[in-house]
Structure 1
Amino acid sequence: MKISVSFTLLLLLGSVPASEGVECQRAFPEDIYAALRETTASLVQLKADVTLQTTEQAAQLKTEVDKLKQQQQEQATQLKTEVDKLKQQQLVRQVAFSASLLAGGQVAYVGPFSAHTTLIFKNVVTNIGNAYNPTTGVFTAPVRGAYHFEWTVSTPADNSHASGAVLVKNSENVFLAYEDQATGSMTSSKAVALFLDVGDVVFVRVWANTRAYDDPGHHTTFSGHLLFTM
């Protein structure tokens, strides 16, 4: 029985062509190589996709971080601006000045002139906030608000000319202090409350064909101070 089975197997093996046997032997390894190539390609593509996604996420994250940094910087700048503004407002609330016409105990007349002429009050007693300029005689408002000003113009008993001085806001004459009499010394004073915006200027002009007098008694003066901000 065993001999007949073995003989039958030998007959079957002998009936299979040699080329088909080789093809069967080669088909299995070639399928593995194709699968490996496909898997490798898939892995490469996956790696590329992951790398691209990671790069995009990193770029997006960097953009968000840069945006947050920019916002923080803008907030810090805005906060500093507000703090500086508050400090400036605190400083400019302290505005007051007072000055007389001539410094050094001089005795002199200013005027008369054919046109209104700015008086320069050189003897500065107080200048808190440095808003008054003793070189030009001009007060410049450092902050928007209401201000109070007073000015006095004087001339002695020589009655050849009247005494007059007008307060000017920017280019507008506001109030005139004026005195003219036949005998005796003359002194005239005025006061006014003005609304000023930042940069507005206020000064005093001696009126045309009048004069102002000053001596160590400081008779001709100009003063002002901030009442409140607005």
Structure 2
Amino acid sequence: MKISVSFMLLLLLGSVSANEGVENKPGFPQDIYAALREMTASLVQLRADLTLQTQEQTAEQKTEVNNLKTEVNKLNQQQLVQQVAFSASLVVAGETTLGPLPTATTLIYKHVPTNIGNAYNSNTGVFTAPVRGAYNFEWSVGARGDGSHGSGAWLVKNSEKVFVAWERQNQYRGSASNGVTLLLEVGDVVSVRLVANSVVNDNENHLNTFSGHLLFTM
């Protein structure tokens, strides 16, 4: 389109220049020159309009592309946030016994083979919900038989005790487990607290565990 307009403009300008020498010849219609000048002016204006229109279309297309890139980035971020799962146990190696303690105490699970989304903090033992949704949690406790102390732990949402896993054996090793599905808001925290005056014992077999994963967002 630009080439056609430019070519026509050159032809008309050439015609005007070629005919300027005969403009004053007798009998040559003066209105032809006026018509040519009007056409030339119209073509110049048309070319300017087309240039402006092209620039505006280019700007609009750039804006649309940038908007699409922004939406794609948002979708990618949302997809990453929706990938949340972790599993942890109390000790990495060796053996440890925790309790009995006079008050409920948050258990810190140090061995973390899986932490997709990094929502579980192995320094505090706390899981923080990165997105609003339904989450499933499971935890297990166990210790060597002790007739004077059981083995138990609460699952706690923020400061609310939800469910408990509890067992008590006079001898041999005992264990218990439990699970729950919770609706969490962004920033809600979930942890496991050792029941007051109870005991847990863990070793390289990873018998005391805490796991969770996002089921779906809401």
Q: TM-score range by the shorter chain?
A: 0.5 to 0.7
For 1:214 and 1:126, the matched residues in 2 are separated by 18
Separation in 1, partners of 2:194, 2:171: 21
Aligned length: 162
Matches within 5 A, 1:4-19: none
Separation in 2, partners of 1:85, 1:226? 19
Deviation at 1:185, TM superposition (A): 1.4
- Residue 116 of structure 1 corresponds to 104
Cα deviation, residue 181, structure 1:
2.9
**What does the per-residue CA deviation read over 1:135-192, in whole Å, with 9 as the maximum and x for residues that have no partner?**
0100011111110000000001333311000000011000000112323211010000
> Is 1:139 paired with 2:113?
no
Structure-to-structure mapping, 1:72-91, within 5 angstroms: 82-91=71-80
Q: Partners in 2 of 1:177 and 1:138 — Cα distance?
A: 18
Q: Which runs of 5+ in 1 are unaligned?
A: 1-70
Q: What code does the residue aligned with 1:151 have?
A: W
Per the alignment, do residues 211 and 77 of structure 1 end up closer, same or farther by CA in structure 2, a change over 3 Å counting? farther
Determine if contact 1:167/1:174 at 8 Å carries over to the other structure. Answer: yes
CA pair 171-217 structure 1, distance change in 2 beyond 3 A = same
Is residue 2:76 matched to residue 1:102? Answer: no
Give the 3-state SS of the residue equivalent to 2:91 in structure 1: coil
The CA distance in 2 between the partners of 1:180 and 1:81, in whole Å, is 56
Is the 8 Å Cα contact of residues 144 and 174 (structure 2) preserved in structure 1?
A: yes
Deviation at 1:74, TM superposition (A): 9.5
Distance 1:77 1:118, change over 3 A: farther
**2:164 matches 1:168:** no
Does residue 92 of structure 1 match 2:81? yes
CA distance in 2 between partners of 1:116 and 1:73 (Å) = 59
| Structure 1 Cα separation of the partners of residues 104 and 67 of structure 2 | 46
Q: Say whether 1:129 aligns with 2:117.
A: yes
TM-score under structure 1 length normalisation = 0.64
Structure 2 unaligned residues grouped into runs of 5+: 1-59
Counterpart Cα distance in 2 of 1:91 and 1:166: 30
Aligned counterparts of 1:220 and 1:139: Cα–Cα separation in 2: 16
Aligned residue in 1 for 2:28: none
Specify the alignment match of 2:139 in structure 1: 151
Secondary structure at the aligned position of 1:87 is classed as helix
Identity percentage of aligned residues: 60
- Give me the CA root mean square deviation: 2.4
Tell me, yes or no, if the aligned pair for 1:159 and 1:184 is still in contact at 8 Å. no
Counterpart of 1:204 in structure 2 is 192
TM-fit CA distance, 1:87: 1.6
Q: What amino acid is aligned across from residue 149 of structure 1 in structure 2?
A: F
Question: In the alignment, is residue 224 of structure 1 matched against residue 212 of structure 2?
Answer: yes
User: Bigger shift: 132-141 or 78-87?
Assistant: 78-87
Aligned to 1:194: 182
Distance apart, 1:78 and its partner CA: 6.7
* CA–CA distance in structure 2, aligned partners of residues 214 and 188 of structure 1: 13
**Structure ranking higher in helix proportion:** 1
Contact 2:146–2:170 under 8 Å retained in 1? no
Deviation track 1:65-100 (CA, whole Å, cap 9, x = no partner) reads xxxxxx999988876654443222100121110010
1:35-54 to 2 correspondence within 5 Å? none
**Contact 2:145 2:169 survives alignment (8 Å):** no
